[in-house]
A and B are shown apart, each in its own frame.
Chain A
Amino acid sequence: MRYLILLDGTPPEGPPPPELMEAISVLGAEATSSGAMLDTAGLAPSAFGARVDLTGGAITVADGPFAEAKELISYALYEVRSKEEAVEWANRFLQVHQQHWPAWEGGARVLKLFGPEDFAAMS
């Protein structure tokens, strides 16, 4: 089953410590080689993006940035056997932040993607 992990956060001033970037790349290599991580990428600040809304029958387009408390930072797509496994990878990702950039605060949303197993269960 697949999970999309969306990371958001409020980075402290200044660039992330090199140790963090190194730890993230080690963790990423581990997750990739174990076959669990299918895809990942960093997300640019919302100032670089836009938002398309349908409200009251009208479609509007608004350029970023958006006044969100936290910016989305990255996504990762995992193929795992249980929700707990996806949570464990998210946990490890936050642990390296905790260890190498203590002032950083953020969260990981672990979202399940529907897969063939869900439709098999419904039919």
Chain B
Amino acid sequence: MVDGAGTAQRAIEAVWRIEAGRLVAGLARVTGDVGLAEELAQDALVVALEQWPVSGIPPNPAGWLMTTAKNRGIDAARRRGTYQRKLEEIGRDQELSTGGRGDDLEDALDDDIGDDLLRLLFTACHPVLSVESRVALTLRCLGGLTTSEIARGFLIPEKTAGQRISRAKKTLTDNGVVFAMPDAAERAARLGSVLEVVYLIFNEGYAAHAGDDWMRPALCQEALRLARLLATLVPDDPEVHGFAALLELQASRIPARTTADGDPVLLLDQDRRRWDRTLLRRGLESLARAEQLASAPGTDAPALGAYAIQAEIAACHARAATPAETDWRRISALYVLLRHAWPSPVVELNRAVAVGFAEGPERGLAVVDAIAGTPALASYPQLPAVRADLLARLGRTAEARESYEAAAALSGNAREREVYAAKARATG
């Protein structure tokens, strides 16, 4: 019995996982309120967890969840004394759900479920919310993650994660944010916010890949799913495909990024045979799509944006079977483009690495030294690390060792510190 109940619970969680986004999006269209939609969806999940272990999983679990959530919505509206108004709103779709298995309702929702999901993403990533709240609300509404999973992913107390979500919902209500598609003028900015949020989620998982808790690396997969979803929701935007490409390509390196003991392995030292071929191929395909859209004749689509350019750079590494085959000239040219799209001293530091390989360590060092005094890089361990690599290649070993030691001293990550310390020991 216990096993049966456990099996049912895991099966319910799987259905939930697949359907949460569509469910919340559909309910948000009906209620006009993302917070309420999310609560109704959660209520339906609770009912499923009570009933399905006993009654079995219904043939159309998604339709069941939707119908149950709507019924809960009607009950809740009745309790709040707004029964009549809500009934009118919900009733419109409720009439559609008379088909035995809810197929009619599903068909009706399928027509614009894509738009609903996009509205949901735009609302969860609304600029009135803090970035932390956008992240939490997106994972909750689109990914169906629990508060505890979000807390573990971001190494915050569960209470804090819960507060971020409830505060986000309240902020949306207080600011009268309706569940609507932003107008054309605002769309690009809002899409930028969505990409930023998904990238944050990805990086939280990517940086922590060596962590002990599976939930941290799982954030990478969460972000990948959102990026793939976005690429189908906004199929004409080159930057969205470029973004998906970037995530696929970066994720393809995950198996090679750490040793068996969990120590980090830098890009040029990675065993490229361990790169994930499936993700790599998908990344290159998404990038080709981005390039095609950006260069289509007569298109008014913008040239490649910052994410797509980074994907181009990642693709240069992906296409090289060995580090020696890397097209460093192309990479350093791409960094010049990236510098325009997204000015940042970190970009310039990365360009220094590429210049160092394309034009020689002397030229690379000149690029590093030009930004060495930038306050934003004062405590950035990669600056002395890059400098050390270039100095070592110039045979200036004493300076190189000193610079590796400086990198180790600045690093806040024990494993990374050890990588730099080892390089210092190995130099001279």
Closest chain A residue, CB of each to CB of B59: A95
In the complex, whether B278 has a CB less than 8 A from a CB of chain A is: yes
Which residues of B lie under 8 Å from residue A88 when comparing CB positions? 11, 14-15, 18
Do residues B221 and A81 form an inter-chain contact, with CB atoms below 8 A?
A: yes
In the complex, whether B225 has a CB less than 8 A from a CB of chain A is: yes
Task: State which of A36, A39, A82, A123 has its C-beta within 8 Å of the C-beta of B225.
Answer: A36
Q: Mark A104-122, 1 if CB is under 8 A from B, else 0.
A: 0000000000011101100
Do residues A79 and B214 form an inter-chain contact, with CB atoms below 8 A?
A: no
Task: State which of B59, B214, B229, B260 has its C-beta within 8 Å of the C-beta of A34.
Answer: B229
Which residues of A lie under 8 Å from residue B18 when comparing CB positions? 34, 36, 85, 88-89
Q: Mark A11-40, 1 if CB is under 8 A from B, else 0.
A: 000000000000000100100111110110
With both chains docked as a complex, state the minimum distance between the C-beta of B84 and any C-beta of chain A, in angstroms.
36
In the complex, whether B218 has a CB less than 8 A from a CB of chain A is: yes
Do residues B14 and A87 form an inter-chain contact, with CB atoms below 8 A?
A: yes
Q: Give residues 260-288 of B contacting A (CB, 8 Å).
A: 260-262, 278, 282
With both chains docked as a complex, state the minimum distance between the C-beta of B293 and any C-beta of chain A, in angstroms.
18
Which residues of A lie under 8 Å from residue B262 when comparing CB positions? 120, 123
Which secondary structure dominates chain B's binding surface? helix
Which residues of B lie under 8 Å from residue A123 when comparing CB positions? 260-262
Task: State which of A38, A39, A77, A117 has its C-beta within 8 Å of the C-beta of B214.
Answer: A117
Do residues A34 and B217 form an inter-chain contact, with CB atoms below 8 A?
A: no
A-B contact number at CB 8 A: 64
Task: State which of B14, B59, B110, B114 has its C-beta within 8 Å of the C-beta of A85.
Answer: B14
In the complex, whether A63 has a CB less than 8 A from a CB of chain B is: no
Which residues of A lie under 8 Å from residue B329 when comparing CB positions? none
Do residues A84 and B11 form an inter-chain contact, with CB atoms below 8 A?
A: yes
Closest chain A residue, CB of each to CB of B224: A35
Which residues of B lie under 8 Å from residue A81 when comparing CB positions? 14, 17, 218, 221
Which residues of B lie under 8 Å from residue A82 when comparing CB positions? 10, 13-14, 17
Do residues B232 and A32 form an inter-chain contact, with CB atoms below 8 A?
A: yes
With both chains docked as a complex, state the minimum distance between the C-beta of B408 and any C-beta of chain A, in angstroms.
25
How long is the Cα–Cα vector from A65 to B225 in the complex, in angstroms? 39
Do residues A84 and B14 form an inter-chain contact, with CB atoms below 8 A?
A: yes
In the complex, whether B76 has a CB less than 8 A from a CB of chain A is: no
Which residues of B lie under 8 Å from residue A77 when comparing CB positions? 278
Q: Give residues 344-390 of B contacting A (CB, 8 Å).
A: none
In the complex, whether B162 has a CB less than 8 A from a CB of chain A is: no
Do residues A119 and B260 form an inter-chain contact, with CB atoms below 8 A?
A: yes
Q: Give residues 97-143 of B contacting A (CB, 8 Å).
A: 110, 114
Do residues B229 and A117 form an inter-chain contact, with CB atoms below 8 A?
A: no
Which residues of B lie under 8 Å from residue A39 when comparing CB positions? 278
In the complex, whether B72 has a CB less than 8 A from a CB of chain A is: no
In the complex, whether B167 has a CB less than 8 A from a CB of chain A is: no
Do residues B10 and A35 form an inter-chain contact, with CB atoms below 8 A?
A: no
Q: Give residues 9-23 of B contacting A (CB, 8 Å).
A: 10-11, 13-15, 17-18, 21
Which interface residue of A26, A35, A115, A117 has the most chain B CB atoms within 10 A?
A: A35
How long is the Cα–Cα vector from A83 to B114 in the complex, in angstroms? 26
In the complex, whether B228 has a CB less than 8 A from a CB of chain A is: yes
Do residues B225 and A34 form an inter-chain contact, with CB atoms below 8 A?
A: yes
Which residues of B lie under 8 Å from residue A26 when comparing CB positions? 110
Q: Mark B208-228, 1 if CB is under 8 A from A, else 0.
A: 000000100110010011111
How long is the Cα–Cα vector from A40 to B282 in the complex, in angstroms? 13
With both chains docked as a complex, state the minimum distance between the C-beta of A41 and any C-beta of chain B, in angstroms.
13
Which residues of B lie under 8 Å from residue A38 when comparing CB positions? 278, 282
In the complex, whether B32 has a CB less than 8 A from a CB of chain A is: no
- A33 with B17: in contact, given A81-B218, A119-B260 (CB under 8 Å)? no
How long is the Cα–Cα vector from A85 to B61 in the complex, in angstroms? 13
With both chains docked as a complex, state the minimum distance between the C-beta of B26 and any C-beta of chain A, in angstroms.
14
Which residues of B lie under 8 Å from residue A89 when comparing CB positions? 18
How long is the Cα–Cα vector from A88 to B12 in the complex, in angstroms? 10
Q: Given known contacts A81-B218, A82-B14, what 18 new A-B pairs fall within 8 Å (CB)?
A: A32-B232, A33-B233, A34-B18, A34-B229, A35-B226, A35-B229, A82-B17, A84-B13, A87-B14, A88-B11, A88-B14, A88-B15, A115-B255, A116-B217, A116-B254, A116-B255, A117-B217, A123-B260
Interface residues of A (CB under 8 A from B): 26, 29, 32-36, 38-39, 77, 79-82, 84-85, 87-89, 95, 115-117, 119-120, 123
Question: What 4 A-B pairs come out closest when comparing CB atoms?
Answer: A35-B225, A84-B14, A35-B228, A33-B232
